[in-house]
Amino acid sequence: MWNNDRLDALGERIDQRFEQVDRRFAEIDRRFERVDQRFEEIDQRFEEIDQRFDRLERTMENRFNQLDVRMDGVQRSITHVAVALYGTTVAGFVAVVGLILTQT
C-alpha cells in the first residue's frame, strides 16, 4: 500500500529524474549552440568566398571586354591590309597585262 513516505520518496526520485533530463537537455542545447555558431562561421566564410568570386568575375569580364576591343581593332587592321593587298594585286595584274600588251 502507498503511504506518505513512499509517495514522497517516489516524488523525490521523479524530481531527480526530471532534473537529470533537464541537465541532459541543457547539455544538448549547449552542443547545438556550438554547432550553430560553427555553421554561422562557415556561412560567413562562404559569403566571403562568394564576394571574392564576384570580384573575380567582374575583373575577368572587364579584361574580356578589353580583349574584345583589341580584337576588333586587330580585325579592322587585317581587313584594311587585305583590301590594300587586293588593290595592290589588282593593280599589279593590270600592270603586267599592260606590259604584255605593249610588248607585243
- Concatenated DSSP letters of 32-68: HHHHHHHHHHHHHHHHHHHHHHHHHHHHHHHHHHHHH
Residue 101 lies in a domain: no
Is residue 32 predicted with pLDDT exceeding 80? yes
Specify if 82 maps to a domain. Answer: no
As a whole-number percent, the residues of the chain with pLDDT over 70 amount to 97
Percent residues over pLDDT 90 in the chain: 70
- Give the angle subtended at the CA of 45 by the CAs of 43 and 49, to the nearest 5°: 115
Cell of 69: 576591343
Residue 63 domain-assigned (yes or no): yes
Mean pLDDT, the chain, whole residue set: 92
- Cα separations (Å) of 1 from 16, 20, 64, 89? 23, 28, 90, 124
Domain for residue 28, yes or no? yes
Does residue 1 have a pLDDT over 70? no
Number of domains in the chain: 1
Residue 92 lies in a domain: no
In the prediction, which pLDDT does 50 show? 97
pTM: 0.52
Task: Indicate whether 84 belongs to any domain.
Answer: no
